[in-house]
Structure 1
Amino acid sequence: MIRILEEFGVRDKDFDALKTVGDHLAPDPTLPFRETNGARFCLDSDQGSISRLEFQPFVLSVKEDFVRHDSGKLRRFRGIGDNLQLNKAFHALLFFKYFIIRDVYVSPRPNLDMSSAKWVSTVFPTRTITTPDVLGEPALEGVHSDGVDHTMTSLLGSHNMTDDSAETFIHDMREDNAKRWNETNPAFLRGKFQHKKFLDTVLIVDHERKHSLSPVRAVDPRLRATRDVIIFFTRKPATKGHISYPYDSFNPHLEFPLNLNIPSPPTVAPTVALADTKKVAMADA
């Protein structure tokens, strides 16, 4: 990932700044062990651009395979700031995801406009925190989907976290929602992945594979443990009947505007990595 992002002009100072994003997050509105900011972006194939969209509440429902105490509730996250929005490594992650997903067919979700040239990408830099009193859960909801076309997570860093923490398990869609990661049916397990190093990344075809995660556990249980990631949810625009339809504005963000021209994909060695990754994505789809 570092080699690929460097082809988009990312330098050491950009990577170093990205690693500190978790130090500037706000309390999550519904989870006591998490700090999270959020932002919405439009990935537009026709215009060849990525732009920031105005604030809208965020909501996921049981109908979208997301079963948790806050399913169906509107959640409002504090917006990301310039420390992330202006970071070239962050821009390159958006470009990377765009190039991977743009030509890959995925099983369509109900009430999404799959013919649109646009995607809504909702981005959540997130810190999961374990303390002597609270166990941090990257996925308290257990087995779930995220109500999107693609879910991508990239690791920014961790502190005092055990080597067996926060493992991602990939499940067949037949697996029951809300099951704990260690209570699932082995026959439905399709793979597992663990973010270990800076920018380790997984991209899931969200309507074709469910996923779950194990908790964040502390090496020294007397001290706080943290795990920082950026989550990129990407889906086609909602149509009438979708729970997010009233909150799917494509108006630009006036206070923190951003408009990026999507560059050409890398043309040297990392192009091979992009092509190989796309083959894997297509084979899995």
Structure 2
Amino acid sequence: MSALPPSDHEDFARSIRDSGFRFVAGADMRAHLLQHGSLDDWDAFAASWNDLAPDAYLAQVGRHRRRRHAVFHAGRDGTIERQPHQPHYQALSYNALQGDIERWFEPLRQDIADGASLGTVLGFCRDFFSTLAPRTAAWRIELHQFRIEAGPDREGQPTPEGVHRDGVDYVLVLLIDRHNIVSGTTTIHDRDGTELGSFTLTAPLDAALVDDGRVFHGVTAVTPQDPSREAHRDVLVVTFRAQA
């Protein structure tokens, strides 16, 4: 296992412990990721967002989102292993729009699951989140590829459920691509609704690290910069939840 340099580790950890979140610029995030592996197949990894399936659940309420999903298991110092395909489930208390239902999404492609870039991202998350939870022996990891689409007659809604928690321990939101969109600002909130911070993921590998047990998060709607052209926002969301 490759560890973060102590100074960088402490800088990240201090932010999470003090405020419950941390924005990381893409160049800095790349440097951290490369300590955990390779990004040599990044172009193919990013291109896989062109092969996502429609989110049939949101289509029922007129939202436009594409996604794929996978579940992994990892010991704090061990191998990260993909689990059999299974539904994504959130309690209604965490997702007022689509809680208390099992949502079956198309699975993450196996070539992407086996690729260097995803292994590097998951390795970083495992090592960093494990340092924040020294008593956690193993993790349940859920991975979501999202494409939010916007058009001339509709906004794209990255978080249609509004400001929320995911019901896990830690979250990484990693920007893959923004194409012809404006806005999409991430806001972080305390339990009483007070806004603690905001930032916009604009460059590939810009990231948000979130302590989901402490803070709420949301993302404002995106609209096309040029309404005559296709517009989307691609992100990778990785959640970690302690597992007995």
Equivalent of residue 118 in structure 1, options 120, 133, 138: 138
- TM-score when scaled to structure 1? 0.70
Task: Point out where structure 2 has 5 or more consecutive residues left out of the alignment.
Answer: 1-28
- List per-residue Cα deviations over 1:69-126 (Å, max 9, x = no partner): x2211100111113421221111110111121102149xxxxxxxx651111100011
Which residue number corresponds to residue 228 of structure 2? Answer: 222
In structure 2, the partner of 1:26 is 53
**Within 2, Cα distance between the matches of 1:207 and 1:8?**
26
CA contact (8 A) 1:38 1:79 kept: yes
Residue 103 of structure 2 is matched in structure 1 by: 75
Which residue of 1 is the match for residue 160 of structure 2? Answer: 140
* Aligned residue runs from structure 1 range 1-285, under 5 A: 1-11=29-39, 13-32=40-59, 33-45=64-76, 48-63=78-93, 65-68=94-97, 70-105=98-133, 117-162=137-182, 165-175=183-193, 188-237=194-243
Q: SS at 2:171's partner residue?
A: strand
Cα distance, 1:49 vs. partner?
A: 1.3
- Higher strand proportion: 2
Q: Read off the aligned partner of 2:75 and give its amino acid letter.
A: D
Structure 1 unaligned regions, length at least 5: 107-114, 176-187, 239-285
How has the CA–CA distance of structure 1 residues 83 and 135 changed in structure 2, closer, same or farther, with 3 Å as cutoff? Answer: farther
Q: Identity over aligned residues, as a percent?
A: 30
In 2, Cα distance between equivalents of 1:105 and 1:82: 29
CA positional deviation for 1:141: 0.8
The normalised TM-score by structure 2 is: 0.81
The answer to whether the 8 A contact 1:193-1:202 is kept is no
The number of residue pairs the alignment matches comes to 212
CA RMSD of aligned residues (A): 1.8
> Following the alignment from structure 1 to structure 2, what is the Cα–Cα distance between the partners of residues 157 and 83?
20
Shift of 1:21: 1.9
CA contact (8 A) 1:131 1:224 kept: yes
1:231 CA displacement: 0.5
Alignment partners' CA distance in 1, 2:125 and 2:237? 11
CA distance in 1, matches of 2:32, 2:136: 28
Structure ID, larger Rg: 1
Equivalent position SS for 1:132: coil
How far the C-alpha of 1:194 sits from its partner, in A, is 1.4
4+ long deviations beyond 3 Å:
none
